[in-house]
Chains A and B, each alone.
Chain A
């Protein structure tokens, strides 16, 4: 899974990204790591045109985690107030949630003050690793097939 241990864990936001994603997605750290997409998604976000915005987002996320880590209710409250509203950090929180859930990343370019979003499936792998399938207690359509007659029983 972690082939490149050469990633500096001090690389801005790499760990923060994972930690905050736990609270954004509702999936555990292990579940997120098990997708194998942590690195790929991090590097996708690092290609975002407005890197200042990315840095500010992770800085704010880390400060919330530092201050309220351990108290889930306060954490959610703070995340709800400081990261979730659409005007915050060019919808970064929402884009990260959709990235984990669907494997689709939306880049937002600001052209003459207007938001120009471009959405793309990150990879074939990101499609299959989307959390939405686990949330629906199924498998990605066209991949990870559960076997003949599995559909006639409730999922395991």
Chain B
């Protein structure tokens, strides 16, 4: 194993690594995937996979706090961040730094990812929105200054890769009902449909949207309609009979990936169910627990992509934590990746090995990729590795709807308000998307559990308790104002030898803050929310509390924001090696045989969840890798 040179070595089996692995194995390349998570978590079928899912579920049911990582094993030898560890920065010497991140502040970074087979797609919500055309050219369109950087590719160039990603993930949606403000124009190819028809909007959505035909909100003295978009998502619904893409194929003569139509006219899209049994999870069943786990795997996870790789070309080594890239001093080529293979999740005891390939791909997540590069002194002639850490900063607003809307049902969100995803105001403050949340006040208030605690603490009991809970819980509505964070070189991940984990690997050291670009957005967003609540008769219950971890003040008003789990920017793409880490093919400027995959590549985040975009980029990177291998 040690001496065998693979065509490609991939670090990480999340959606980025899985797409590269699948695409390359089907093009007859020999691929090695190193996964830091447990072996049980990367078994791709059969009874063992079923039992692992059931174990995760049992852990989830018993968890006191149902956070995104709560079902999954806590691995001392390969730790994941946990949102419960996100606390206000301690203002003292000898701070404790609980958890995995070392938070240097001034504000704590609030988002997590998951170290596991399948990566963060195990716990993601499943929303698969594309970025918008202007998101790729923020700097030039909105005359933005230092820190901002345009993508080296345009939205138009991304379109075929978005279609590949939507095919691989299996997206349910409606192009006609994907409502965007008219100024944005059509973003889908003429005649395009998603693989599956839309996930039905919730009863809550319907009640929320009712009566809006003439309603307008005012922002900066301009009026705006509310545009409601049916949210496309990687969650099985009903195959769309008009969809005619069979899959992605490497075309060696044209040196391109192509989207292939069905061979036979009568073929149609087949939803991919669970990895243990294809008949389970063929359609969403309304478990309403997408974050953190889908009990039937109707929601996409990257294990499904790994499972459909060409097996004879794929080797997976689990419990393998990459820690150093070996670099040839003369050629600057990567010669190998050293990794520690641990025996059990928590016991000390590991062996060290080297993985060798012609080409290397880091797909370990934005923060982990940056950390590994810094630890290896690799790919950083631009000094941008680890910098420009960005997230969606979610300003949550919540209240009681005038009638019962029955939340805590269905997928986490089925509709979003797209009105403020783009516009001239981006010269001045962040844009945002507003998903309507179907799960009551769960996120900010840990409802419904806290509601019964509070009532009981007030001495309410019996039929009165039941009635009060019923009347409140059935009317809970929550909006997210997910604000696109601006890139800032001082928001960054670094390493420090005094902060290491049990396996003697670096912990990420994070410096993080919010700029006025964000604070102005919070103010504007809250004012928009206030107008919406007033128009719909929603009784405001939003509370921001100065003791909360990410509490900020702007013009005398306090706001608490929460990290959306959309971690991007730490090794961005660009057209110049002085200001970026990778080129438009996601190959590092500094090392000819090193590619970086994942959301770390993104120079801007836009207002969409990054998974679909990073999946599209993974197809693009795969294409470039195949071109290079077959030169």
Q: Are A135's CB and B466's CB within 8 A?
A: yes
Q: Are B203's CB and A146's CB within 8 A?
A: no
Instruction: Encode B408-427 as 1/0 by CB contact (under 8 A) with A.
Output: 11110010000000000000
By beta carbon, the residue of chain B nearest A97 is: B456
Give residues of chain B (60-77) contacting chain A, Cβ–Cβ below 8 Å: 60-64, 66
For A147, give its contact among B66, B285, B295 (CB under 8 Å): B285
The stretch from B446-454, B569-577, B590-598 touching chain A is B446-454
Chain B interface helix/strand/loop/mixed: loop
For A141, give its contact among B287, B453, B457, B469 (CB under 8 Å): B287
Contacts of A94 in B (CB 8 A): 456-457
Contacts of B200 in A (CB 8 A): 149, 151-152
Cβ of B378 within 8 Å of any chain A Cβ, yes or no, is no
Contacts of A97 in B (CB 8 A): 452, 456, 461, 465
* Complex CA distance for A75 and B288, rounded to whole angstroms: 38
For A142, give its contact among B57, B438, B453, B461 (CB under 8 Å): B57
The stretch from A4-12, A46-54, A63-71, A79-87 touching chain B is A79-87
By beta carbon, the residue of chain B nearest A93 is: B461
Instruction: Encode A110-125 as 1/0 by CB contact (under 8 A) with B.
Output: 0000000001110111
* A20 vs chain B, min Cβ distance (A): 10
For B406, give its contact among A85, A148, A154 (CB under 8 Å): A154
Contacts of B456 in A (CB 8 A): 94, 97-98, 101
Cβ of B185 within 8 Å of any chain A Cβ, yes or no, is no
Contacts of A151 in B (CB 8 A): 200, 202-204, 286, 288, 409-411, 414, 438
* Complex CA distance for A24 and B440, rounded to whole angstroms: 25
- Given the contacts A98-B452, A136-B474, A141-B289, A121 and B406 also touching, CB distance less than 8 Å: no
Cβ of B325 within 8 Å of any chain A Cβ, yes or no, is no
Contacts of A125 in B (CB 8 A): 61
Q: Are A124's CB and B287's CB within 8 A?
A: no
* Complex CA distance for A61 and B282, rounded to whole angstroms: 51
Q: Are B410's CB and A104's CB within 8 A?
A: no
Cβ of B165 within 8 Å of any chain A Cβ, yes or no, is no
Give residues of chain B (587-614) contacting chain A, Cβ–Cβ below 8 Å: none
Cβ of B293 within 8 Å of any chain A Cβ, yes or no, is yes
Contacts of A142 in B (CB 8 A): 57, 60-61, 287-289, 293, 295
* B322 vs chain A, min Cβ distance (A): 33
Cβ of B459 within 8 Å of any chain A Cβ, yes or no, is yes
* Complex CA distance for A11 and B6, rounded to whole angstroms: 69
Q: Are A80's CB and B459's CB within 8 A?
A: yes
For B409, give its contact among A120, A127, A150 (CB under 8 Å): A150
By beta carbon, the residue of chain A nearest B452 is: A101
Cβ of A30 within 8 Å of any chain B Cβ, yes or no, is no
For A26, give its contact among B407, B414, B438, B464 (CB under 8 Å): B464
| Interface size, A (range) | 35 or more
Contacts of B62 in A (CB 8 A): 121, 123-124, 127
* B257 vs chain A, min Cβ distance (A): 33
Q: Are B285's CB and A145's CB within 8 A?
A: yes
Q: Are A137's CB and B474's CB within 8 A?
A: yes
Q: Are A104's CB and B64's CB within 8 A?
A: yes
* Complex CA distance for A132 and B202, rounded to whole angstroms: 21
Q: Are B61's CB and A24's CB within 8 A?
A: no
* A68 vs chain B, min Cβ distance (A): 13
Give residues of chain A (80-109) contacting chain B, Cβ–Cβ below 8 Å: 80, 84-85, 93-94, 97-98, 101-102, 104
* Complex CA distance for A103 and B439, rounded to whole angstroms: 20
* Complex CA distance for A17 and B295, rounded to whole angstroms: 34
Q: Are A76's CB and B406's CB within 8 A?
A: no
- Given the contacts A24-B462, A102-B449, A152-B203, A127 and B469 also touching, CB distance less than 8 Å: no
Q: Are B473's CB and A135's CB within 8 A?
A: yes
* Complex CA distance for A97 and B409, rounded to whole angstroms: 24
Contacts of B57 in A (CB 8 A): 124, 142
By beta carbon, the residue of chain A nearest B473 is: A136
Q: Are A145's CB and B465's CB within 8 A?
A: no
Q: Are B474's CB and A148's CB within 8 A?
A: no
Cβ of B470 within 8 Å of any chain A Cβ, yes or no, is yes
Contacts of B409 in A (CB 8 A): 138-139, 146, 150-151, 155
Cβ of B284 within 8 Å of any chain A Cβ, yes or no, is yes
Q: Are A132's CB and B289's CB within 8 A?
A: no
Q: Are B286's CB and A124's CB within 8 A?
A: no
Cβ of A43 within 8 Å of any chain B Cβ, yes or no, is no
Cβ of B264 within 8 Å of any chain A Cβ, yes or no, is no
Cβ of A25 within 8 Å of any chain B Cβ, yes or no, is yes
* A149 vs chain B, min Cβ distance (A): 5
* A139 vs chain B, min Cβ distance (A): 7
Contacts of A102 in B (CB 8 A): 449, 452
Contacts of A1 in B (CB 8 A): none
Q: Are B286's CB and A145's CB within 8 A?
A: yes
Which one of B283, B289, B408 has the highest number of Cβ atoms from chain A below 10 Å of its Cβ? B408
Contacts of A145 in B (CB 8 A): 285-288, 295-296
For A132, give its contact among B203, B237, B469 (CB under 8 Å): B469
Cβ of A42 within 8 Å of any chain B Cβ, yes or no, is no
Contacts of B60 in A (CB 8 A): 142
* Complex CA distance for A138 and B287, rounded to whole angstroms: 10
* Complex CA distance for A141 and B294, rounded to whole angstroms: 10
Contacts of B467 in A (CB 8 A): 26
Instruction: Encode A34-52 as 1/0 by CB contact (under 8 A) with B.
Output: 0000000000000000000
By beta carbon, the residue of chain B nearest A76 is: B462
Q: Are B470's CB and A135's CB within 8 A?
A: yes
Cβ of B58 within 8 Å of any chain A Cβ, yes or no, is yes
Which one of B64, B288, B296, B461 has the highest number of Cβ atoms from chain A below 10 Å of its Cβ? B461
Q: Are B283's CB and A148's CB within 8 A?
A: yes
By beta carbon, the residue of chain B nearest A104 is: B64
Cβ of B265 within 8 Å of any chain A Cβ, yes or no, is no
Contacts of B462 in A (CB 8 A): 23-26, 76, 79
26 residue pairs from A and B, CB less than 8 Å apart: A24-B461, A25-B465, A26-B461, A26-B464, A94-B456, A97-B461, A98-B453, A101-B456, A102-B452, A104-B449, A123-B62, A131-B466, A133-B408, A135-B470, A136-B440, A136-B470, A137-B406, A138-B407, A138-B408, A141-B66, A142-B288, A147-B285, A149-B200, A150-B409, A151-B409, A152-B206
Shortest beta-carbon contacts, A-B, top 8: A151-B410, A26-B466, A142-B289, A124-B61, A136-B473, A26-B463, A152-B200, A145-B285
- B contact set with A: CB distance below 8 Å: 57-58, 60-64, 66, 200-204, 206, 237, 283-289, 293, 295-296, 404, 406-411, 414, 438-440, 448-449, 451-453, 456-457, 459, 461-467, 469-470, 473-474
